[in-house]
Amino acid sequence: MKRTNVKISLLIVLMLVLTTFFNVAMADSADATITILQTSDLHGRIYAHDYATDSPDSDAGLAKIETLIKAEKAKNPDALLIDCGDTVQDNSAELFNDLPVHPMIQALNKMGYDIWTLGNHEFNFEKSFLDRNIAAFEGTVISANIYKTGTDERYVDGYKIFDVNGVKIAVVGMTPPMIPLWEASAPSHFAGLEFKDVVEETEKVIGELEGKYDILVGAYHIGPDGEHGYEGMEYIAENFPEFDVIFGGHAHSKYQKEVNGVKLIEPGKYGWALAKAEIQVVKNGEEYDVVSVTTENIETKTVDEDQEILDTFKFVHDQSVADANTVVGTISNDFILMPDYITGEASISTMPTSQIKDTSVIDLINEVQMFYSNSDVSSAALFNFGSNLHEGQFKKKDVAYIYKYPNTLVGVNITGENLLKYMEWSAGYYNTTKPGDITVSFNKDIRGYNYDMFSGVDYEINLLKEAGNRIENVTFNGEAIDPTKVYKLSINNYRFGTLMSLGLVTMDDKYYDSYELLQDSGRIRDLIIKYTVEEKQGNLAPTVDNNWKITNFDFNNPYKDSVFALVKSGDVAIPTSEDGRTSNVEALNLFKLKDENIIKLNYYTVKTGDVLWKIAKNNGMTWNDLAQMNGLNNPNLIFPSQQIILPQ
């Protein structure tokens, strides 16, 4: 238990330090080391295999995690084992939803998990599915902020207190409260439940636990930072220093940090690592005081899979591989020739071409959505940056690769005014370009799955303008969007929740719901297959209408090839967000590269009386080309000493 605001004399401090040192060194019976192990965001992975690509995934799966758990339990048999949610969804896990117990829960039971915190993706399916698997889990399911509607009764336990050799350990669970928003089109998924504020419920549960624990542990399906109005782990630690360690999830972050004396750790996704906390305690009367907390993410990449887990769940692997390779059609040509915008490689290491310009993959998804919802306009996001379809057989695994999530399709009525607001919201994904930028870059605070691209309308995105004022020249059937007219828009169920939260649509605006009509067969992945088989007679060909483009950016900058060559050689790196989840968060800038002596730049320094058109004329260019090359928001406004980039 942490002690705060206690004045201790220097003598007592010295005695405590010496006593602690002696006890740790001698490991006498008055002291203890508590080990807590954690996974999160396993997303249906038992084998180290990605069924969306039918290929090995070297740092994934419970079989690898089990090898590490056995090694840790050999050192400390009393180690507690926690999973922080998003466990039973993705990677073909839905194939087994009709079993009495889902294989992921069977695996957690076999491996001896003590705690399962519910994640938001646990609510992607009918509530009866979740209820059945909660009942089947042999440990304790926790989430302190989910209640039975209209009552003070929690849906599952809010916390669990363990007694490990006399040391009382309280583990508290929390779930993102936005599930009614994310599952807005399928309220049956959370029927009879309400989700409360994380901060308020943290304060409440700590009050409930007063005097009942020596060690306080968070098992939160929440990342370092909050989103959609709820707070993240770092805020919790800053405001509730009673915690000794908080294990996180949801953000897929490879993360360790200490905030306000609280250790925070998150083990990435899919089984990338087994998070470990070792907590040293010293006996103080009838209680134990925490002396130190150390955390570690033990990575799985080089770890062998546990054979017993492989043998037990071979049926899952075999059935998933067979399903992934079911042929549903034929693809005439590769859909995207250069998936990575700079390198051209299939694996995205710089930025995805599909978020820089219109591509046939997004157009296919939108085409399917518009067909089944009979909509005027459709929007879709790129969930997998490397999404592509290749010439040859079209298999079910290819569909899962271009459409990662089990989303369903929703059609809504939306005014032209609100459609334009939605489009502006989406375009906030880009950073505003600055003079000298040679690449388009992405907002570090917005995930790629929140950037939607639209079909059914023609439009331009002006990146010289700030977010909220970028969408220009929007037309529908050749005419400007009428702000007062109502249009039919097709979106996935998650985006329906987003638009409701933004006040752009209401539940009454919904006119189509694929889940209501088709249940699990109404998932967008299944609709893509259905469309291919029934409407395309099994033959898919890449088509792109190029209905949108980024404007006022020089994609043919004369320095582009030389800078891109430096990126390909590894001499220049594309900036990535701190948590590693978002790449390309800052544009490569010619002036910055010049100042770092990476490139030589030909430029002109503006003098008093200069005008852009004269500078352009003297260098064999038009003023418009020179303005675009330099990313000038106002080409009529240049000032003395300003540097104007010129061709090489």
Q: Identify the helix (H) or strand (E) that includes residue 140.
A: strand 140-142
Residue-level pLDDT at 228: 78
Query: Domain segments of the chain: what residues?
Result: 33-316, 326-551, 565-645
At residue 9, the pLDDT reads: 40
Residue burial 449-462, b: 16+ Cβ < 10 Å; e: rest: ebbbbbbbbbbebb
Question: Higher model confidence: residue 600 or residue 318?
Answer: 318
What is the Cα–Cα distance from 463 to 636, expressed in whole angstroms? Answer: 18
Q: Is the pLDDT of residue 471 over 80?
A: yes
In terms of Cβ atoms closer than 10 Å to its own Cβ (0-12, 13-18, 19+), residue 266 is buried
Query: What single letter denotes the amino acid at residue 574?
Result: I
Whole-number pLDDT of residue 14: 44
Q: Which H/E stretch holds residue 323?
A: helix 314-324
Confidence label for 46 from pLDDT (cuts 50, 70 and 90): very high
Q: Which residues contact 159 (CB under 8 A, 6 or more apart)?
A: 142, 144, 170, 171, 172, 173, 205, 208, 209
Answer with the residue of higher pLDDT: 29 or 249. Answer: 249
93 φ/ψ sector (left φ>0, alpha ψ -120 to 50, else beta): alpha
Mean pLDDT of 635-639: 80
State the number of CA atoms in the 13 A half-sphere of 357 facing the CB: 14
- The helix-helix angle for 62-75 and 103-111 (nearest 10°) equals 10
Strands (E), 268-376: 273-284, 287-299, 327-331
The CATH number of domain 33-316 is 3.10.20.30: no
Q: Write the DSSP symbol of residue 447.
A: -
Q: Choose between 631 and 484: higher pLDDT.
A: 484
Of the pLDDT bands very low, low, confident and very high (cuts 50, 70, 90), residue 404 is confident
- Is the pLDDT confidence value at 13 over 50? no
Mean pLDDT for 266-278 is 97
pLDDT for position 23: 39
Q: What is the pLDDT of residue 53?
A: 81
Q: Tell me whether domains 33-316 and 326-551 share a fold.
A: no
Query: How many angstroms separate the first and last alpha carbons of the chain?
Result: 66
Which of the residue ranges 16-30, 33-47, 75-89 would you say has the lowest mean pLDDT?
16-30
Judged against a pLDDT cut of 70, whether residue 11 lies above it is answered with no
The average pLDDT across 403-412 equals 92
| CATH 3.40.605.10 is the classification of domain 326-551 | no
Second CATH level (architecture) for the domain 565-645: Roll (3.10)
CA distance 306 to 156: 31
Res. 20: pLDDT tops 90: no
**Mean pLDDT, the chain, integer:** 92
| Each residue's pLDDT tens digit, 177-235 | 999 988 988 899 999 999 999 999 999 999 999 999 999 999 999 999 988 789 999 99
22 pLDDT higher than 50: no
Specify the pLDDT at position 642. Answer: 87
